[in-house]
Structure 1
Amino acid sequence: MQKETHHKRRGRLPSIEVVDLFCGIGGLSYGMKSKGLKILEGFDLDATCKYAYEINNEAKFQYKDIRTVTKKDILPFYSKKAIKVLAGCAPCQPFSSYAFKNKNKDEKKYSLLDEFGRLVKEVHPDIVTMENVPAIASFKLRSVLADFIKVLEEEKFHVKYQVVYCPDYGIPQTRKRLVLLASRFGNISLIPPTHTKANYVTVRDTIGDLPSLEAGHTCSTDPLHRCRALTPLNMRRIKDTPYGGSWKDWPEDLWLNCHKKKGGKSFGSVYGRMVWEKPAPTMTTLCTGIGNGRFGHPKQDRAISAREAALFQTFPVTYKFFPNEKDVSLTKASRYIGNAVPPKLGEVIAESIKQHIRNVPL
C-alpha cells in the first residue's frame, strides 16, 4: 500500500480560538492574540484582574473558582469549525521550592491541575497548553504532572513538554518555565529557540533608554515608571552595592541579622544590582523591592520600577494594567506583573500551535 503523505497547509489557517484558565491580567492571552489567535474568555479568582484582561485582550473575564467551572461555561464560546485551544497556568506557588519548606502551605492548590484535567475531559479541546514552574517535573511533584499527562493521553492527545530558558526566546530575564503542549492531531512541540547566548536580550536593551529615576519617585511622563522609597539605612546599603554586587560587598555594620547566620549566606543575590550586559533575573511578585533578590538598578540607587519589571516580562508600554495608573500601589502592580506569563512566551506557544496546524491533517 502506498504510504499516505500530508503536505504543509498553505494559505489561511482555520480559526484558532483560546480559552485561558488561571488567566490573571492576561500575559499568555495577549501573546497568543498578538500572533493571530482569537481569545474568547479567561477565568481567574482574582477579580481585580478583570480590567487589564478585558481591555488588552478584547475578551470576556470570568471571575470564577476553577473548581466550579464546567463545560457549560466554556463550550458556547467556541465556534463550530474552529480549532479549540484550552490554555492555562495553574498558580505556581504550590509547586515552587519555597512551598516545600512552608509548613502552612495550602494543600488545596495542588488540586488545581486536576481541575484543569477535568475540564479537558469535559470540553474536549483540540489542543491543550499548560505553563508552570520546572519544579512540577521534579521528583517530589512528578506524580502531579504525571496524573495530568495521563488524563491527556487517555483523551488521545499527543503530549510534549520541556523546560524553557526564556532568554533562548528573546525574553530578557533568566526565567525557566515548563511548557506543555498536547494535540489530538499529532505530534506537537515548541518552535526552536530564536536566540543564543551571543544575542540574548539584555537589561540595557530593555530598560537602558528609560528616564533616570530617584528612589520613591514617579516619572512625569510614565506613571508606571515609579519605584519604592528607601529608608536611610537601605539607601546606604544600595549606595554601598557595587555594579553587579550584592550585600556581600557591604561593610559588616550594614548586614542584616540573617546575613550573619550560616543559612543567610546562601542568598547571595539579595540586595543585588543587575548588570547591563545580561538578561535580568526572574521577575517575581516582589521584584520592585531591593531586599527580595537582584532587583537593584544597575547604576541608579534604587530598585527597579514597575515599568521596568513589566518590560522585563515583555509587556509592551501600551499594555494597560489599571484604569488610572496614577492611583495604583506598587504592591498591586508588582503582583500582577510577577504572576503573569510573559507575553513573548505566549507568542512562542501560539507560533508553535500555528506551525503544528500547518503540518498535520485535520
Structure 2
Amino acid sequence: MTIRAVDLFSGAGGLTYGLRGAGIDVRAGFDIEPECEYPYEANNEGAEFVETDLSEGNSIAEIREYLSGDEEYTLVAGCAPCQPFSTMSNGNKNQKEGHEKWGLMGEFAEIVSEVEPDLVTMENVPEARKAEPYDEFRSTLSELGYSISDGLVDCPDYGVPQERKRLVLLASKHGHIELTEPTHDSERVSVQSEFEKHELAELEAGETSEKDFLHNARGLSDTNLKRIKHSEPGGSWKDWPEELLLDCHKKESGRKYVSSYGRMEWDSPAPTITTRFYNYGSGRFGHPEEDRAISVREGALLQTFPPDYEFVESEDDLSVVSVGKLIGNAVPPRLAKAIGESLIQHVNHEAPQQRLTAEQIS
C-alpha cells in the first residue's frame, strides 16, 4: 500500500529524504526560503519545491493537487518553525508570545482541516509541547477524528549521533498509530563511528578539502587557536590557563556556560547540532582531535544527511551561515526514516483492519 505526501516547512529536505527512504512518495516540499529549493530538489529526485508563504493560506489547492491520485493513503508532514518554542530563543515570555511565527502551527492545523489527509506527522522542539498553539493543534486533530500519539524522542535511540530531543506527533484517521521501537537504545552511534564511515580529510582551521568544498573549517583567531589546543574532549574553558579566559568566565553568571568553546568526544554522541555548529565558540563544537571547529560537512553527517547531500550547487554559492541554518534546522533524515517506517507499518497492518471493521459495521 502506498502513501502520497507533502512536506510543509520543508527546509533543505531532511524530512522528505528520510520519508522517501522509508518508501513514502513525497511529491512536494513547501517553504518560504528560496535557498531551500536547490538542496530540496537536487537530493530528492522527482519531488518539487514550492516557494510559498504558508501563513497566507493560499496553498490549499496546490497541496490537494499534489496529494491527488490513486494512492490509498495521503500524508501531510512537516515541522512548523520552532524559534518561538526553543530554549535558544532570546527575550522574555511576552516577546515569544508575540512572535509572528507562533501562528505557523495554526496554519499547519488549518491546512490539515482543509485537506483532511489520512495521516499527519509533525516534528518540533520539546518546548512546543508546553505551548498553547500545540494544544490547539492537537485539539483540532482530535475534533477531525484523528487518533493521535505524541511524545519526546531521544534521537540517539534512532541512530542519530547527537544528543537531540524532539517532539514527534503521529496521527491517523484509521486507528491507533505510534512510533516504532528504538533501534539504537542500547548502543548509541558516536561521533567517531559516524565520521569513520566516510573518508574525511584532516583539516586545519581555515582549510577546505580539495575533494569536498563543504568539508571546510572556519578560521580561528590566534587566541582561539590557543584555547582549542588547551581544550580536552568533553571539557570546557575550565581547561584553559587563566590568561585565555574570557571576562564572562570570571564572573559568577558565566560559570554555568561550560559547553561553549568545548570539544566533542569521540566515543559519545555529539551535542545538539544548532544553526551555528561551525563556530567554535557557539557550543561544544570543537573537533575531538583536530584544532578546529567541525566542518559544514561534519555537521551535516551528525544530522545524518548522506555524505553526498548537496546544499548548494557550487563553492561560489556557499554561504556557511546560510547552509549552517539549513543543516541545523533540519529534521535528521535517520529520525525521519523511522517516522516513515512507522507510517508504512501502520497502513500495512492497523489501517486495513480498521477499514474492514468499518465496512462490517456498515
Provide the TM-score with structure 1 as the length reference. 0.92
Please give the secondary structure, in 1, of the residue aligned with 2:215. Answer: strand
2:215 and 2:125 mapped to 1: Cα distance?
28
- Structure 1 residues 77-131: Cα deviation after superposition (integer angstroms, max 9, x where no partner): 1233321100110111110113363575552111110000000010111100000
Q: Which of 288, 291, 294 matches 1:304?
A: 294
Q: Aligned-pair distance for 1:255?
A: 1.3
Whether the 8 Å CA contact 1:71–1:119 is kept in 2: the answer is: yes
Alignment match, 1:120: 112
- Structure 1 residues 235-259: Cα deviation after superposition (integer angstroms, max 9, x where no partner): 1111111232111111122111221
The answer to whether 1:45 aligns with 2:32 is yes
RMSD between superposed Cα atoms in Å: 1.4
Of 326-335 and 250-259, more deviation after overlay is shown by 326-335
The 4+ residue runs of structure 1 with deviation greater than 3 A are 100-106
Alignment match, 1:8: none
Q: Aligned-pair distance for 1:318?
A: 1.9
Q: Aligned-pair distance for 1:326?
A: 5.2
Percent pairwise identity:
48
Please give the secondary structure, in 2, of the residue aligned with 1:294. Answer: coil
1:148 and 1:104 mapped to 2: Cα distance?
21
Matches within 5 A, 1:236-251: 236-251=226-241
The answer to whether 1:189 aligns with 2:181 is no
- Structure 1 residues 3-46: Cα deviation after superposition (integer angstroms, max 9, x where no partner): xxxxxxxxxx2x21110100001000000111111111111111
2:47 and 2:233 mapped to 1: Cα distance?
43
Matches within 5 A, 1:264-343: 264-325=254-315, 327-343=317-333
Describe the shift of the 1:99–1:193 C-alpha distance in structure 2 as closer, same or farther (beyond 3 A). Answer: same
Alignment match, 2:163: 174
Alignment match, 1:60: 48
Whether the 8 Å CA contact 2:217–2:292 is kept in 1: the answer is: yes
| Number of aligned positions between the proteins | 345
- Structure 1 residues 197-227: Cα deviation after superposition (integer angstroms, max 9, x where no partner): 4x21101011145221100000111111101
Give the residue type in structure 2 aligned to 1:223. Answer: F
Matches within 5 A, 1:121-270: 121-138=113-130, 141=131, 143-197=132-186, 199-208=187-196, 209-270=199-260
Of 226-235 and 73-82, more deviation after overlay is shown by 73-82
1:358 and 1:119 mapped to 2: Cα distance?
26
Alignment match, 1:111: 103
Please give the secondary structure, in 2, of the residue aligned with 1:219. Answer: coil
Please give the secondary structure, in 2, of the residue aligned with 1:267. Answer: coil
Whether the 8 Å CA contact 1:26–1:340 is kept in 2: the answer is: yes
Whether the 8 Å CA contact 1:296–1:304 is kept in 2: the answer is: yes
Provide the TM-score with structure 2 as the length reference. 0.92
Q: Aligned-pair distance for 1:70?
A: 3.4
1:295 and 1:100 mapped to 2: Cα distance?
21
Give the residue type in structure 2 aligned to 1:63. Answer: E
The answer to whether 1:75 aligns with 2:67 is no
Q: Aligned-pair distance for 1:196?
A: 2.2
Structure 2: runs of 5+ lacking an equivalent: 356-362
Whether the 8 Å CA contact 1:223–1:326 is kept in 2: the answer is: no
1:80 and 1:248 mapped to 2: Cα distance?
60
Q: Which of 334, 341, 345 matches 1:351?
A: 341
